[in-house]
Amino acid sequence: MQKKIAVILSGCGFQDGAEIYESVLTLLRLDEKNVSYQCLAPDIPQMHVINHATGDETPDSQPQGSASRSVLAESARVARGEIQDLANGNPDDFDAVILPGGFGVAKNLSTFATQGADCEVNQQVQQFVQAFHKAGKPIGLMCIAPALTAKLVAPGALCTIGNDPGIEGALVNMGALHKTCPVNEIVVDNTNKLVTTPAYLLATRLTEAQAGIFKLVDKVLEMA
């Protein structure tokens, strides 16, 4: 039976949503492995809108000038419209789950960007990912997503965000364990079936991100 992987996105664009390169590299590797996948995202407003050319916060281009956009609608841009509302997703339908990074994870799927170790994780996202952990199914987190390891997976789980002292301190304070890791490698917690890689927290080139992400996807599939 063909494996099926859930990929949770957090918007579109690394400064206020999902990191597009990380998302596409994840989907590319799954496709290369002839694995079925489904992109999902919660239907919630994103924290704010960033002009990726300037890095400045900007109002949306809607008539009322609203600064909010739907995380689900923005994620659909990455998934070419093939997206499912996370509220309707069933973890039983999948063999594993992967979360690409991007600051949408810290801004939309959680409050990590503003509250650090005191953050809260979106309840839909937390329950969905924890269902995989409870079922003994593998979980892949990349870039900033491993910062939420203790709340997404379990306290005591081993992960990596590369070598950022600030993020490492926050995730350790939340109860996770951290291991320094180069951009082209992964950290595997076999007990919790968790695979993590730094991706664009360290990558300066697309090929650097590709190396770690491909290894992450391959290991997740092996563990599934």
Closest of 199, 202, 147 to residue 170, by C-alpha: 147
Question: Mind telling me the catalytic residues?
Answer: 143
The mean of the pLDDT values for the chain is: 94
Structure tokens belonging to residue 129: 């990912």
For residue 155, what pLDDT band results from cuts at 50, 70 and 90? very high
DSSP 8-55: E---SSTTTS--HHHHHHHHHHHHHTT-EEEEEE---B-S--EETTTT
DSSP-derived letter for residue 95 is S
Tens digit of each residue's pLDDT (9 = 90 or more) over 160-209? 999 999 999 999 999 999 999 999 999 999 999 999 999 999 999 999 99
What pLDDT digit, counting tens, does each position of 207-218 carry? 999 999 999 999
Greatest alpha-carbon span in the chain:
51
| 1-5, 59-63, 133-137: range with lowest mean pLDDT | 59-63
Average pLDDT in the 51-64 region?
72
Lowest mean pLDDT among 22-26, 57-61, 143-147, 151-155: 57-61
**Residue 47, pLDDT score:** 80
Ramachandran bin of 143, using left for φ above 0, alpha for ψ from -120 to 50, beta for the remaining angles: left
| Among the listed residues 195, 86, 104, the one whose alpha carbon sits nearest the alpha carbon of residue 149 | 195
pLDDT at 66: 54
What are 105-145's pLDDT values in tens digits? 999 999 999 999 999 999 999 999 999 999 999 999 999 99
pLDDT at residue 61 above 70?
no
Q: Would you state the pLDDT for residue 58?
A: 83
